[in-house]
Structure 1
Amino acid sequence: MKRLIKMREMSDNQKGVVKKISATGDMGRRIREMGLVSEVQIQIQGHAPLKDPVAVKVKDFTLTLRNNEASHILVEVNEPKLP
């Protein structure tokens, strides 16, 4: 089963597909310029000790986003199957 969550809620090494960017203006433009656009696959590489920022693998590079930026990105993830 798939569900939508904010990127900031994803766990380390979790994969997903970007579905929506709700940021507008300069922040929205900046996020899109970094390659975070609808239907791109991502993987969370890790979080800083205080959970901010988050490192994200997009295509063949890694970038970091602050939580306030990551909260504007909805990602479709697979829910783990129950036993």
Structure 2
Amino acid sequence: MRLSELRVGDAGEIATVKSQGAVRRRIMDMGLIKGTPFRVVRVAPLGDPMEIAFKGLHLALRKSEAQEIFVVKH
């Protein structure tokens, strides 16, 4: 399941990041690596951006970035 498919209040953990190059590196440098638990805090009306909380941080992701992050929903 893609991160972009989740709704506010959903929780899960990162399964894999399919992005390539600089985008992948940036996402992983922020701490979104396999096994990281997270919760969806907010999603803009058109789904872009979305805010997630993990490791005590809040992070806004573009829809295009969230579509490249695969998760396991809890």
Q: What's the TM-score bracket when you normalise by the shorter of the two chains?
A: over 0.9
Q: Distance in 2 between matches of 1:60 and 1:49?
A: 25
1:24 matched to 2:20? The reply is: yes
1:35 matched to 2:41? The reply is: no
Q: Following superposition, which runs of at least 4 residues in structure 1 exceed 3 angstroms of deviation?
A: none
| Structure 1 position 24, deviation (Å) | 1.2
1:26 aligns to what SS in structure 2?
A: helix
Which residue of the other structure, out of 55, 61, 64, is the alignment partner of 2:57? 61
| Structure 1 position 50, deviation (Å) | 1.9
**Highest CA radius of gyration, 1 or 2?**
1
2:32 aligns to what SS in structure 1?
A: coil
2:13 aligns to what SS in structure 1?
A: strand
2:24 aligns to what SS in structure 1?
A: helix
What TM-score comes out, normalization by structure 2 length? Answer: 0.95
Identity among equivalent positions (%) equals 30
Query: Number of residues paired by the alignment?
Result: 74
Q: Distance in 2 between matches of 1:10 and 1:27?
A: 21
What TM-score comes out, normalization by structure 1 length? Answer: 0.85
Q: Distance in 1 between matches of 2:45 and 2:6?
A: 15
| Structure 1 position 59, deviation (Å) | 1.0
Instruction: Indicate the RMSD between aligned Cα atoms, in angstroms.
Output: 0.8
